Each structure stands twice: as structure tokens, then as C-alpha cells.
Amino acid sequence: ENEDAKINETIKKFRIPLDSNHFLLRVLNEGSAVLVSPDNKELWDETADIRETLGSPFFAVVPLRTLEKPQGVIIVDNLVTKKPITESDLELLRAVANHASFAIERSKLTEELQKSYQELEKAYAELRENQEKLVLAEKLSAVGTIAAQIAHEIRNPIVAIGGFARAILRDYDLDENLREKLEIILEETQKIERTIQDALDFSKFSEPEKSLCEIGKTIQDVIIFFEPEIAEKKITVTYEIADDIPKFEYDEQLIRQVLINLFRNSISVLGEGGKIGIKAYKEGEYCWIEFSDNGPGIPEGVGDKIFQPFFTTKPTGTGLGLSISAQIIEAHKGEIWYKNNPVGGVTFYIRLPLKSDEKKGDNK
């Protein structure tokens, strides 16, 4: 280690202007190895500063050159061995220099190849992302085009069919076989109604119409809305609303839609005896909502794709529910994300600002 330190200190002493006619620069540019000894009076005098720096009267210099340009020099002396540097030593030094130059060249080529590969990978990723965006844009355009047609041509008859099925189930004493068939009709019409509503919500999304609302009441209203399905599947729903959450401005209808989408997703994957938990609390300048269930959770590797339009992990559904939810939360200057629970299930986190940045009369 001491020898290495001495060598490093010696190297630091060499400070040669690149535009000078210094001996080492000439060796580098001319490309020939040189042995310095008292026998060559001219070189001996010219290299006095080098000998003084090295502390040795004998030394040899071999240039390091690649195909592109000179890279440096190798300097050897006999300070330790005190043996004379011979022509055979110089030849060996040339061989070492050639190998070192080749290694430098190969290293640079490898570095350039790696850089080119990374740039190619980046370009490919951007191309793939742009292609996905183009496909998505085409899908969104298609949704917008057919949404109005769906509303008029399909929605009204489906609502009528579902209404009649509910009425018959409620008002008539039916045998078990016929009741089961009507329940299937009702269930399927509800699926179609939800699909139509998702498409309409996504295609007709507008900026939130905020008013002063109470988040606890919004959550309780959504729980009441799902009471029949909760009771049917014997799902346990618990909720905790912190007392210190003030009323704040948000679009109640849209935030209710977010919670409805989360409830639908949970209920669809929970079996009998499943659990849903909701917490709302104030932290800093934000209202936090945590929505948890003990279902199967989100598959690994899905990441933020779950909030992309038309992406779904379920065999049925439009893949628009969470995309709409993310769109709504973003429009409120908030955030939504999820984490799978260590003991199973998933928790969605929603963060909404308690103070709106918008001023009354501001049409931005």
C-alpha cells in the first residue's frame, strides 16, 4: 500500500501542458518507445525534470495508442531494482503497451455499444408507449362515439326489463324454479346497466362541481346504497370517520361514484363472510380515505395499469371503474393508489385536499 501511495504521489507531480513540445508528448505523438540513459546525452539533458520527479536516472517511455488517438504513456524506471533497462525489457514493455491499448480500445467500444443499446431500448420503449397511447386513443374515441347510442338504444329497454323483473319478484308468489330464472335476468340486466353507466361516465366526464360537503355523510350514503348486496353476501362493513374532519369542497356526486366503484369491485370478489373496512381521517391539509377488503388483492405486476382505461383483472367488466375513479380524484387535485395487505386483500388510499386552489369566479 505504501508503494502504491508513493507511485500515486509521483503521478500527481506530472503536470504537462497539452500544447507544449514536452518530451512525453512527443513520444506519445510519434508512437515510438524510448529508453533514456546517460548514453544519449541529448535526451538525458532534455529529461532532467522527469528524472528528478521519478528520482531515478534511468527510465523508459512507451506510448499507449488506440486506433482513434493517443491515450497516454507508460513510464518505467529502475529505482527499486537498480538493474539497467535493456532492449529486451523495452520489447516486453511494448508488448504490454499493445495489450493495454487494445484493452482501452475494447473498453471504449463496449461502452459505446452499451450506450447505443440503451438508446435503442429507450427508443423502443417510447415507440411502444406511443403505440399503446394511439390504441388507447382509438378506444376512447370509439367509446365516445357509441356512448350516446348506447344511452338511447340499449339503456332504456334494459332498465325497463330490470324494473319489471324486480316488480314480479316483489309482487308475485313464484315457484323456486321461476324465481331463480328471474333473479338471473335481474342480475344480468344490472351488469349491463353498470357497463353502460361506466361507458357514459367515462365519455362524458366533466370538471367537478364543488360544494361544501361532509365526507362522513358521503361514505355512509354509499354504504346504505349497497346494504342489500352486503346483506345478501353476509359481508361485514366497518367504518371509522374521524371527528376532526371539517366540511370541505368537493363534488359529492363524483366522490360518491369513486366509493361506489370501490365497493363494486370488493363485493364482486368477496365470498360469504368477507370484510370491508373504511377509514376517513384528517392529516395535515388533507382528508385521507382508506378503503380495505380481505379479498384476493391485486395480482403482482399489475402496478398502475389498474387505473388505465379498459384494464381489468376480472373475467367480466369494462375495466373503466378504477380509471374513472382516478380521473375523478385527479380532477380534485388529489391522489389515489393501492397496496396489497400483508394478511390478504387490498387497501386503496385516497388523498383529497381540504382547501381548494380554485377561487370563486375563476373559470380556469
296-339 pLDDT per residue, tens: 888 887 777 778 766 666 666 556 778 888 989 999 999 999 99
Interatomic CA distance for residues 182 and 166, integer angstroms: 8
Domain positions in the chain are: 2-85, 129-203, 211-353
What is the three-class DSSP state of 221?
helix
Interatomic CA distance for residues 312 and 306, integer angstroms: 7
Phi, psi (5° rounding) for residue 162? -60, -40
At residue 212 the predicted structure's pLDDT band, cuts being 50, 70 and 90, is very high
**pLDDT of the residue at 248:** 95
**Arch. (CATH architecture) of 211-353:** 2-Layer Sandwich (3.30)
Terminus-to-terminus CA distance in the chain, angstroms?
A: 68
CA dihedral 46, 47, 53, 59 (to 10 degrees): -170
**pLDDT of the residue at 321:** 76
For domain 129-203, give the fold: Methane Monooxygenase Hydroxylase; Chain G, domain 1 (1.20.58)
Q: Is the pLDDT of residue 264 over 60?
A: yes
What is the three-class DSSP state of 350?
strand
**pLDDT of the residue at 337:** 92
Phi, psi (5° rounding) for residue 361? 90, -5
Cell of 170: 316483489
Cell of 293: 377488503
**pLDDT of the residue at 165:** 84
Query: 113-166: per-residue pLDDT in tens?
Result: 888 888 888 888 888 877 876 776 666 666 665 665 565 567 667 778 888 888
